[in-house]
Chains A and B, each alone.
Chain A
Amino acid sequence: MNVNAKNNKSAKLEVLMDIKDISLSFGGLKALQNVNLHIQKGEILAIIGPNGAGKSSMLNVISGIYIPQKGVVEWKGKLRKKIAPHDIARMGIARTFQNIALFRGMSALENILTGRNILMKRNLFLEALYLGMGRKQEEEHRQKAEEIIDFLEIQSIRKTPVARLPYGLQKRVELGRALALEPELLLLDEPMAGMNVEEKEDMCRFILDVNEQFGTTIVLIEHDMGVVMDISDRVAVLDYGIKIADGTPDEVRSEQKVIDAYLGAG
């Protein structure tokens, strides 16, 4: 594994998304309080915290599903307003889910192709007859899907219905579908949950490869501290909806507040 890559990356400091002073509550429950967070282009940012700390809420704010009651979200320097899900995808934000959300009866290849849905231009007539644009388009998208299959090394399950696949492979197909969108920002909600050591190692490698090869910015929520500390460029820690730390893995590890949050303050 190449270590130099990370140092090179931090030299660029372009901010992709800037979240300023947001608060989000559900009735009386304050999920997030006055949180500031920026996402730099090309980094791997991990959001960690104990159960109920507001991690998934944060991810949903980033992806635009939740609109915070207070504060603003800027995407590439511009204020982001309330938007529809397909517009989020069009902006270049893709995500995977904590509980796998694939089309279970469809093959791995078909699932990945659905990720390209937003990039397809429609013409029912040409597509039905497999002519001209319709044909060219189909070939293009299939090629892209095949590149992802090659990238994730899932050639052998290309045509297998995903319901028949083991858990670790389903997670990989889900990552493939997110990648099919060619996202600029990739959000991963607990990508390693429920995996064995070998599957975790594979997943880590794929996340690093996505980041290195495509330059995709990645924000992930993860409970496995070993994984987080190994692959992230930066770690943000939430506790009861408040951001208590933000920095490199080493900085965060030695931060007293973080230790207290995880181990319980004296």
Chain B
Amino acid sequence: MSRDFSSLDTFPKILRNNAVIFKGKPSVREKEFGIWQTLSWDDFYKRAIILASGLRDSGLKRGEKIAIIGDNRPNLYLSIAAAQILGAIPVPCYQDSVADELKYILEHAEVKIAIVENQEQVDKLLEIKTKLPLLKSIYFDDPRGLEEYKEEEVKALDEILLKNIDLDINLDEDIDKTSKDDISIMLYTSGTTGRPKGVLLSYYNIISVTSVACELEGTSSNDEVVAYLPMAWVGDNIFCVAQSYISGFCINCPESRDTLTIDMREIGPTYYFAPPRVWEGMLTQLMVRMQDASKIKLWAFNYFMRVAKKWGNDILDKKKVPLFYRLLYGLGYFLVYGPLKNNLGLTRVRIAYTAGEAMGPDTFLFYRSLGINLKVLYGQTEASVFVSLHRNGDVDPKTVGPVFPGVDVKIEKGEVFYKGPGVFKGYYKNEQATKETIDEKGWVKTGDAGVIDNNGHLKIIDRAKDVGKLNSGKMFAPKYLENKLKFCGIIKEAVAFGDNKDFVSCFINIDLEAVASWAERNNIAYSGYIDLAGQSSVYDLIAKEIEKVNEDLAQDKELNDSQIKRFLILHKELDADDGELTRTNKVRRNLISERYGKLIDALYSSENHCYIETEVTFEDGRKGSISADLKIQDMKIIDLEDKVA
């Protein structure tokens, strides 16, 4: 069903329309007390109006900012809608940010009202309240533990919702006042470099891009999506909020972070989005569990996975496949793929995306061979997400797909630039950064190095500024190497060094779950993460994976010199709380090089071990320190030419 979005040009207007045309249909669900509680579109609209009028009473005006902090909860989505109705700008923040990070954003955005999920967030805000003179009210959704709080600015969201529940409030005038060039939402980018920047997206940006995406994928009010990714991330706002407004489908909020898999299975989403990390985690867990299966089951699994690997992708792409193999695949579906998909909660998935980072081709094809239509998407907050996207039947795991309809892409000096209707309005209060990112003709700099291949697919290699040169003059693309390493499943994170060096070396973070399971099966005792990471058998395990990567690199003339010569396994997981990763789990290279400079020096010396003491920050802001003596291991460099000779 398609509507005319030239008159329905803002979310409040679309919502008002949804309340009529999707009356009685679910708009948002939340599992509470073990039961899925549903809010229909008309109820959602009514509540948004009540909340909006309550927020207006507490002094919220047009153009002012309101912070939203917490896990995906219906009331927080409601708060976004209410703020938009009043013409105020919602600023969702990452729920796991420490108080200091929140302080920067709330101060920069001049937030007056914050709507938060629970006590944890209230405590964080109270801690920084004295430094935020503008912050007048903190509304909370879950009252647990907050009964005794005496601070007058801390109030229950229910106070507004319940007080006005019977009133007949009309805010049509405010809704009509919203226009397509108004700012719909302000999203702070995670900031791989420096302080986060507030990206301003207008209604026009989001609606024009999202409606094309909805049409392309044929989303309808019968789709289901599980909202579990941070609300502060642009993806949640596009895939959940914007697309559900436009198509009328239902957003499902899981009961808690721990119950996600159970909730997924119960809902059976038709539309599923996950960063590669989640897909890989799911596969690792599956493989770990298969190790414990009985022999017959394991045999059936292995046999039919081979069948799927060979034919599954072609069947999904509707290519010609011999009848015998079609039937065999059908049998496999009945015995293995179907139950497996059901177990993962992916049975009904019609559209599945991954983005953010490169994904291992093996993992990618594993899901596709099961009949899950997984596709890669390339986007940025600044583009209202969509820059390029795989189309049905035209999927290549090495690329990020053809350019999105309506978007132009050009490659200049190896760097990707794009232009289109989704291009943001600028960074909030940061004229200079805006100018550096968008040029006069509207081209946006992505900072990513990429090429367009023969099929018209965009291929992303690395962050442009990270691409360096080895002393031999050959190109060094750290992320490309790191991704290759991470594809194996036992390496959770890797950081490669090599710019202006003679050879490449790297830090490794082991994947605790996978390595622990391996250790258990091989009777290797360990006391904890540090101990496990330092064991020489684990070093050998990792060395084997690195060897595979080196063999692969040796095939490529350009990358032959990028083989990893020395590595060490870090004693702690790289963590966003310590600033080593961004909140979206991207490696902060500069900070790591600074903090672990000693280790890098050791990698490029003749030492075979190095002592290090690091400070760690806990989620509540306390600090501690851990130390370890790290071993450094040498790898053999594979030279194909030698072999030939």
A and B found bound together: yes
Contact surface of A with B, Cβ cutoff 8 Å: 2, 4-5, 109, 142-143, 146-147, 149-151, 153, 155-156, 158, 209, 212-213
Known: A147-B33, A158-B34. 14 other contacts (CB 8 A): A2-B148, A5-B148, A142-B34, A143-B33, A146-B33, A153-B256, A155-B255, A155-B256, A156-B255, A209-B145, A212-B147, A212-B148, A213-B144, A213-B145
Q: Are A156 and B259 in contact (CB under 8 A)?
A: yes
Rounded to whole angstroms, the CA-CA distance of A118 and B181 in the bound complex is 63
Q: B260: nearest residue on chain A (CB-CB)?
A: A156
Residue of A nearest to B150 (CB): A4
Are B33 and A150 neighbours in the complex by a CB distance under 8 Å? yes
B171 at the interface (CB under 8 A from A): no
Nearest B residue (CB) for A5: B148
25 contacts between A and B (CB under 8 A): A2-B149, A4-B148, A142-B34, A143-B33, A146-B33, A146-B34, A146-B35, A147-B33, A149-B34, A150-B33, A151-B144, A153-B256, A155-B255, A155-B256, A155-B258, A155-B259, A156-B256, A156-B258, A156-B262, A158-B34, A209-B144, A212-B147, A212-B148, A213-B145, A213-B147
B32 within 8 A of A: yes
Check B149 against A150 for contact (C-beta < 8 Å).
Answer: no
Question: Can you list the 4 inter-chain pairs with the closest CB atoms, starting with the nearest?
Answer: A156-B258, A146-B33, A2-B148, A156-B259
Q: How far is the CA of A209 from the CA of B35 in the complex (A)?
A: 24
Please report the C-alpha to C-alpha distance between residue A106 and residue B33 in the assembled complex, in whole angstroms: 19
Secondary structure dominating the interface of B: loop
Near A by CB (< 8 A), chain B positions 87-140 give none
* Complex alpha-carbon distance, A156 and B259, angstroms: 5
What's the nearest-Cβ distance from chain A to residue B108, in Å? 30
Instruction: Please report the C-alpha to C-alpha distance between residue A100 and residue B513 in the assembled complex, in whole angstroms.
Output: 28
**Cα A150 to Cα B255 with chains together (Å):** 9
Could you mark each residue 502-535 of chain B with 1 if its beta carbon is under 8 Å from any beta carbon of chain A, else 0? Answer: 0000000000000000000000000000000000
Contact with A along B133-170 (1 / 0, CB 8 A): 00000000000110111100000000000000000000
**In the complex, what residues of A have CB within 8 A of residue B33's CB?**
143, 146-147, 149-150
Q: How far is the CA of A213 from the CA of B33 in the complex (A)?
A: 18
| A156-B34 Cα distance, complex, nearest whole Å | 10
Closest-CB distance, B73 to chain A (whole angstroms) = 14
Closest partner residue, chain A, to B143 (CB atom)? A213
Kindly list chain B residues whose C-beta atoms are within 8 Å of the C-beta of A209: 144-145
Interface centre among B34, B148, B150, B256 (most CB of A within 10 A): B34
B148 neighbours in A (Cβ, 8 Å): 2, 4-5, 212
| Residue-wise interface mask of B (367-381) relative to A, using a CB-CB cutoff of 8 A (1 in contact, 0 not) | 000000000000000
CB proximity of B141 to chain A, nearest CB, Å? 14
Specify the chain B residue showing the minimal Cβ separation from A209: B145
Give the CA-CA distance A9 to B149 in the complex, in Å.
15
CA A75 to CA B17, docked complex, whole Å: 62
Instruction: Identify the closest chain B residue to A149 (Cβ).
Output: B34
Q: Which residues of A contact B149 (CB under 8 A)?
A: 2
In Å, the complex CA distance between A153 and B32 comes to 12
Question: Would you give the 0/1 interface string for B23-53, flagging 1 where the beta carbon is closer than 8 Å to chain A?
Answer: 0000000001111000000000000000000
For window 209-263 of B, CB contacts with A under 8 Å fall at 255-256, 258-259, 262
Which residues of the other chain, B, contact A147 by a CB distance below 8 angstroms?
Answer: 33
Contacts of A212 in B (CB 8 A): 145, 147-148
Bound: A155/B255 CA distance, A: 7
A219 to B259: give the CA distance in the assembly, Å.
Answer: 33
Asked if B32 and A150 sit within 8 Å, CB to CB, the answer is yes
